[in-house]
Amino acid sequence: MALDGLRVLDLSRAVPGPYCTMLLGDLGADVVVVEEAAPPAGRRAQPLAADDEARWARDPLRRNKRSIRLNLKHPEGHAIFIELARRADVVLEGFRPGVAKRLAIDHASLAELNPRLVYCSLSGYGQHGPHAQLVGHEINYIAMAGALSMIGRPGSPPAIPMNLIADISAGGLMAAFSIVTALLARERTGRGQYIDHAMTDGVLSLLTRAAGQRLAGGALPQPGTDRINGALPHYDVYACKDGKYLSIGPLEPWFHANLCEVLGLPVVPESAPADERERARAAMQARFREHTRDEWFAKLAPLDTCVAPVLDLDEAMREPHHVARGMRVEVDHPTLGPIPMIGIGPKLSATPGAIRSLGPRPGEHTEALLGELGYAPDSIAKLRADLAIA
């Protein structure tokens, strides 16, 4: 596999970090999740469901990973992590800025022991800047970076998307890209490096085109004012006879002409006045109400009209195209049977990814990993009794 032989230590907890290391694990990396030796206490304590095998096995963000439970505040637990880091290629952490340094597991501490280490800090606002210590989540990051202001309908509050922009795309995916890039650079330089990855930086990077147009003197992006966020009647979603929605997006004039010919409506160009475009939108609304979503898709799909049904997640999981592409798979578990899961996105021809294992229980591989470090069974038992591991 593409990342065979690479060891990744994952100290992250929320979605962006685990998604990042899932991507690396899917392509062959040996991902070791370093988890707490005891459940979070105090204000971080949360009621947990039954700690059964199914709960962890069905979590796709834990697949292709091993788990060790360490008490990083215990001298022996800390020493174990240091030994793991000596042999690792990548460390990913998602603490608030300064926490890793207080635990003496920051990049500066580990790079002295392992100069080839690629170390990624993944946070909301980065390791420096006025807001570095500001707490937040997806909605805050896309708000601060300007993306949220562009999403929605004119005259309505911004629409809140799922955590696909900051957490998944600008966070986990971009962090994985940064890590692989640093590993590629290491092949030339022989040395690792530090990655300070802020999700707000990532969101702004995703806005490169929109920001570039604005910085060049273009209009300030607002909901429903751009050709690809609702200003055009032929780039929109429409309710159909059954209450389900159809998306249309024929931006090219020839595709637009194809759609209007089937609908029996005149072609209203992008340059038309706003009131004319709104009349065209109303005509399309009325026309799409005449048939069901799937009837329209069956009619329009073969005719180069840039159309797709708005599927809910259950429908998407059953969609024959996604199944044919291997994006809805079942993975056998020795006791639980087949477990349905999203497949692997990147389709590499020579070194394809694979789901080699389902999510581990917390600490499932503690003894095995300690054995790889040379710890004897009696030493492991003592570490557990001393609460250095779990």
Please give the positions annotated as active site. 137, 167
Task: Give dist(CA 377, CA 390) in Å, integer.
Answer: 14
Q: Which two tokens stand for residue 252?
A: 């090219």
Task: Give dist(CA 82, CA 32) in Å, integer.
Answer: 13
Task: Give dist(CA 323, CA 260) in Å, integer.
Answer: 32
Rama region for 15: left / alpha / beta (φ>0; ψ in -120 to 50; rest): alpha
Task: Give dist(CA 253, CA 259) in Å, integer.
Answer: 10
User: What DSSP line would sit under 280-331, residue for residue?
Assistant: HHHHHHHHHTTS-HHHHHHHHGGGS--EEE---HHHHHH-HHHHHTT-EEEE
Task: Give dist(CA 114, CA 187) in Å, integer.
Answer: 15
